[in-house]
Amino acid sequence: MKEETTTLHSSLRTIEWKDNKLVMIDQTKLPNELVFVEFTDYNDVANAIRTLVVRGAPAIGVSGAFGLALAALQSKSMTKEELIEDLEKARKILFETRPTAVNLKWGLEKIMKVANEGDNVNEIKELVVQTAKKMAEDDVKINMAMGKHGSELFNDNDTIMTHCNAGALATVAYGTALGVIRATKESGKKIKVIATETRPVQQGSRLTAFELKHDGIDVTLIPDTAVGYTMAQGLVNKVIVGADRILRTGHVYNKIGTYQVATMAKQHGIPFYVAAPLSTFDLQSNPEDVIIEQRNGSEVTGIGDKKTAPDGINVINPAFDMTPPELISGIITEKGIAKAPFGESIKKLFEAN
C-alpha cells in the first residue's frame, strides 16, 4: 500500500483502477488532507473497507469487486479450479468486513459469477478486471440517472437537509442523495443544503460538508441535535438521504440517526426522500434478518484522538438504523421513483429493469 498526496481540481472521483492497481481517496484523512492510496493486495482493500478508508454502500460494492480483481491478479494458480478457490477465499474475507450494506454482497457475487463463466485462468483474470471496471463506470451513470429523476422533486429555493454522506465519496463519483442535489443545481434551480454532523464518525462534517463546499454548493453544517430545531424554525423544505439496504417492503437501512431525522420530518410535514440504486435493494430479507453493524465504542468515547467520556463507560454504537416505509415520501432510483405502497412500486421498478 503506497500513499501519495494530490491536489484535486475537478469533481471528486473516489475509486479508480489504474495500471492494474486500485486507487482510492483515504476518507479517514478528510477534510484536512486529500490523500490517494494505491492497493495491489485484496487484504489491504478488506482492511480499507473495515477501517472506513472507503465507505458508503455503492463505494464498498465497487471496492469489493476491485478487491476480487486484485485477488485474481495476485493468484499464482495454474488452473481454473485453483483460481476460483483463491477468489472464493478473497470473497469471504472481503464480505466479512461490513455486514449491513447489501451492495458489498452484490458486487462480490457479480464478480464470482463472471469468474465461474470463464474457461481458463487468463480469460477469468481478464473478465474479472473488465467487469469490475464496468461496474465502476455504471455506478457513475446510474447516479446521474438517479439525479435526473430525483431533481424533479425539488424546487427553486429549496433548502434540503441530508444526513451522513451519500455523495461522490460514498460512490465512485457524483453520489446518490448528493447526486440528486448536484442534478437539481445543474438543472438551474437555486438550492441550499443543511448537512448534519453525523456523529460518531462525522461523515456529515468531514465528508458531505467537504465535498459540497469543494463543488461550490451552498452548505450549512448543524450538530445532529439541531435537526428538530432547524425543522421547527422552518429552515428545511425537504430531506434526502442515501441507503445501505432497502427491503422489498420499503424499510430503509441507513446511517444511525436517519430514523430520528425521518421521524422529525414527519412531525413537521417535511417530505423525506431516499436515493439509492437498485443494487442497494435486498428483495429476499425481512427486517429481522438484517444485521446492524455494531462498531467500536471508542468512536463514541472520543472525537478523533481526543477522549470525551470517562474510562470504562458502557457504550452502544450501532452504525445503522431502520426507517419504516410510513416515514418515507419516495425512494429515488435510476429506474424511477417508488412511492407508497412501496411493495407494489418497488416490484414494478424491478420488473421494468
**Burial tier of 266 (Cβ tally within 10 Å: 0-12, 13-18, 19+):** middle
Cβ proximity to ligand MRU: between 121 and 243 the closer is: 243
Which residues are near ligand MRU by CB under 6 A? Answer: 55-58, 101, 164, 166, 170-171, 176, 203, 241-244, 254-255, 319
CA–centroid distance for 176 within its chain = 8
Q: How many CB atoms lie within 10 A of CB 215?
A: 18
CA–centroid distance for 154 within its chain = 22
Helix boundaries (H) for the chain: 42-50, 57-74, 80-95, 102-117, 121-151, 177-186, 203, 209-214, 227-232, 258-267, 298-301, 342-351
The answer to whether the CB of 217 falls within 8 A of the CB of 193 is: yes
The backbone region for 23, taken as left when phi is positive above 0, alpha when psi lies in -120 to 50, beta otherwise, is beta
Q: How far is the CB of 235 from ligand MRU (least distance, A)?
A: 22
C-alpha closest to that of 231 among 205, 275, 261: 261
Cβ proximity to ligand MRU: between 77 and 285 the closer is: 285
Kindly state the greatest CA–CA separation across the chain: 66
Q: How far is the CB of 166 from ligand MRU (least distance, A)?
A: 4
Cβ proximity to ligand MRU: between 118 and 200 the closer is: 200
Q: How far is the CB of 6 from ligand MRU (least distance, A)?
A: 22
Q: How far is the CB of 30 from ligand MRU (least distance, A)?
A: 12
- The 15-18 sheet, strands edge to edge: 2-5, 35-39, 21-25, 15-18
Cβ proximity to ligand MRU: between 129 and 331 the closer is: 331
Residue nearest to ligand MRU (CB): 242
Cβ proximity to ligand MRU: between 70 and 164 the closer is: 164
Q: How far is the CB of 58 from ligand MRU (least distance, A)?
A: 5
Among the listed residues 215, 224, 244, 282, the single catalytic one is 244
How many H-runs (helices) and E-runs (strands) does the chain carry?
12, 17
Q: How far is the CB of 122 from ligand MRU (least distance, A)?
A: 35
Helix axes 57-74, 42-50, angle to 10 degrees: 160
Cβ proximity to ligand MRU: between 121 and 145 the closer is: 145
The answer to whether the CB of 270 falls within 8 A of the CB of 276 is: no
158 is catalytic: no
Q: How far is the CB of 99 from ligand MRU (least distance, A)?
A: 11
* Angstrom distance (rounded) from CA 205 to CA 220: 10
What is residue 290's DSSP assignment? P
C-alpha closest to that of 106 among 80, 79, 151, 142: 142
Cβ proximity to ligand MRU: between 108 and 164 the closer is: 164
* Gap between the terminal Cα atoms of the chain: 39
Active-site residues, by number, are 244
